[in-house]
Structure 1
Amino acid sequence: MVTEGTRTEPQYVEGLNSYLRSRGTTAVVKSVPVGKDPMKVVLKGIELRDKAASAGKDYDTCVCLVDVDQHETLAAACWLATRESILLLVSNLKFEAWLRWHVEDKHSALTTSQLDELVAKLGLVTKKVLAPDFPFHAVHQACEVARRVDSGLEAGRIGPDPSSALPILVDLMLGR
């Protein structure tokens, strides 16, 4: 798992993994935060996958998480990820849209600052730090909202605003 975000996304993935494991699902997730460029995220995923393969430790799946934001390299990153069989999961406008769906079934398009203010007001994130009592138990609700909002949801695709391909990660972690 390679993430664009260096705080919120890794915290979420690790927390989700712990929550699902406590429910009888086992997934091994290695989160590697990279920073703001989707192409760098995909290239890091390729690097880690190839390094593991050369050491005889193949990963089952390489997943990268990125936001739409205003990235100029996003389309090229989608193309490269598809070519390299990496699951590039895009959140539009950004990851916080996915977090929002854990507590409310609303999907109005918001600006980045409005979305930050909303997830803070909802008690989900403060200054890019996930709340200690984040409602991981509502992950299935978030998946339902995401699939309803974007019926064409798939990896390597930029969905409508708002949207998130994170249900694909949840399915992988559940062994589906």
Structure 2
Amino acid sequence: MAPRKSGRRTNRPKRQPVRRILVVTEGTRTEPQYVEGLNRYLRSTGTTAVVKPVPVGRDPRTVVRKAIEVRDKAVKDEKGYDVCLCLVDVDEHETLSAACQLAARESILLLVSNLKFEAWLRWHVEDKRSPLSSSQLDELTTKLGLITKKILSPSFPFHAVHEACETARRADPDLEAGRIGPDPSSAMPILVDLMLGR
């Protein structure tokens, strides 16, 4: 008599390790809210990433320094991150080029939005690439129902993130981390790809 097979399946696919991503942001409200909301949305579609947003609220060089500090502490605590990146704006920051150099030396991905993060948010609802001033971007994102006083709308269209990525790539075909693209531009598709495990 042949031995009975147990009910267990032995050829199950192995679970992929969850990618841990550290995201340090210049903005203290909009960017962290966006990263957390996008992470929730992508998880609902089956993507698994542990994303830790750390709002700093200073100039780009300070944001990179904070990323180094948080990353190094996590390594010391044996909870290191697979990827560390910073979200910064061009705005009128004098330390942006120094931040790009520091990030490159420390292997931190610096994702720059030109003129600012609101350009990226805009592309979730419209494929328009005209340069706008900071105040015009604020007015437009409010008018489009995306933000109110730096608070992301509860009904923000995260489902349109793929269209936003396509628009960003058309706006800046040479899109990459650590580079200041044309106005408007955003390197946010890099974070989206990382969160999707690409």
Q: TM-score range by the shorter chain?
A: over 0.9
Residue of structure 2 equivalent to 1:47: 69
Offset from partner CA, 1:54-100 (integer Å, 9 cap, x none): 11111000010000000000000001101100011000000000000
For structure 2, the residue ranges without an aligned partner over 5 or more in a row are 1-22
The TM-score, its normalising length taken from structure 1, stands at 0.99
The whole-number CA distance in structure 1 between the counterparts of 2:73 and 2:154 is 34
Task: From 97, 100, 116, give the equivalent of 1:75.
Answer: 97
Q: Mapping of 1:9-158 within 5 angstroms?
A: 9-158=31-180
Q: After the TM superposition, list the runs of 4 or more consecutive aligned residues in structure 1 that deviate by more than 6 angstroms.
A: none
Percent identity of paired positions between Structure 1 and Structure 2: 79
Residue 117 of structure 2 aligns with an amino acid whose one-letter code is F
Is the partner of 1:63 in helix, strand or coil?
strand
Whose strand proportion is higher, 1 or 2? 2
Offset from partner CA, 1:6-52 (integer Å, 9 cap, x none): 00000000000000000000110111100131001000000011111
The whole-number CA distance in structure 2 between the counterparts of 1:53 and 1:27 is 18
The whole-number CA distance in structure 1 between the counterparts of 2:133 and 2:41 is 30
The higher radius of gyration belongs to 2
Shift of 1:152: 0.6
Aligned residues between the structures: 176
The whole-number CA distance in structure 2 between the counterparts of 1:169 and 1:34 is 18
Is the partner of 2:62 in helix, strand or coil?
helix
